[in-house]
Amino acid sequence: MNKPPLDARSMTPEDFFDLMGVPYQHDGGRIIVVAADVSGKRIGHLPDLREVAVSGNFSCHDNQLRSLEGSPVEIGGYFACDDNWLKSLEGGPSVVHGAYSCSDNNLRTLKGAPSKARSFTCSNNKHLESFEGAEHMQVAEFVCSNGNRIRDFTHLPAVERVIINGEEQGSSTSWKQHFEMRATALSKRLQGSDGIENARPRRTARKATQSNMIENR
């Protein structure tokens, strides 16, 4: 029988790090962690780590996290929360000095995304329909490839390099222009299809009229 995921919300940071085998030290009453890798530990909820200073990387990927509540506020290196059960990024770190990766989750929007990161990756979130929450993000590279439902680029942050579903269009401005052109072309094709469909009944009606005239002769 499978064990339930670890609910660490009632644990102190020290007890949590001891259980995870993560070295730490105290400095003036504050807990300092050089790097924390708690991936693959079947964690369902994190303890309150908001006052913990993380000078390096923090990795909590490949768990069963349903929320990022309790995450350290600032990460000195990269932050990885891929392969979890997350529907939201709310409660996660607000500043990440390295890369931020949240791929392979169940995100609907990007609410709770960091205000600052070196790069941001949210690939393979099958329910992701909007970049809402990321519009004010300061980031150099934004990647959102594979298996999403993005059709609206309204909330795409101002970024120099954007890759969406394997396509790179340079900046977010050029991506928005590219999307608008595609949407316009699609709209014209659909309007053309409607015109063809609307014309068919008239042709059919003409054929029926001609048949009636021949029979009356």
CATH number at 113 reads 3.80.10
Statement: residue 138 has pLDDT above 60:
yes
DSSP annotation of 4 reads P
Please check whether residue 198 lies inside any domain of the structure: no
| pLDDT for 1 | 58
Please check whether residue 204 lies inside any domain of the structure: no
**pLDDT tier at 45 (50, 70, 90 boundaries)?**
very high
Please check whether residue 201 lies inside any domain of the structure: no
| Start-to-end Cα distance in the chain | 84
pTM equals 0.79
Q: What is the mean pLDDT of residues 62-84?
A: 98
Q: What is the mean pLDDT of residues 203-213?
A: 45
3 and 25 in contact (C-beta within 8 Å)? no
Please check whether residue 99 lies inside any domain of the structure: yes
pLDDT in tens, 178-201: 555 655 554 566 676 554 444 444
| pLDDT for 123 | 95
108 and 88 in contact (C-beta within 8 Å)? yes
Q: Cβ of 213: how many Cβ atoms within 10 Å? A: 9
Please check whether residue 189 lies inside any domain of the structure: no
Total tally of structural domains belonging to the chain: 1
Partners of 119 in beta bridges: 99, 141
Closest CA to 104 of 120, 126, 79, 131: 126
39 and 60 in contact (C-beta within 8 Å)? yes
| pLDDT for 2 | 77
Q: What is the mean pLDDT of residues 104-121?
A: 97
Please check whether residue 96 lies inside any domain of the structure: yes
Instruction: Give the structural domain span for 119.
Output: 6-168
Q: Looking at beta carbons, which pairs linking 116-122 to residues 24 or more positions away fall under 8 Å?
A: 117/79, 119/143, 122/148
Please check whether residue 194 lies inside any domain of the structure: no
Partners of 152 in beta bridges: 130
Please check whether residue 84 lies inside any domain of the structure: yes
**pLDDT tier at 161 (50, 70, 90 boundaries)?**
confident
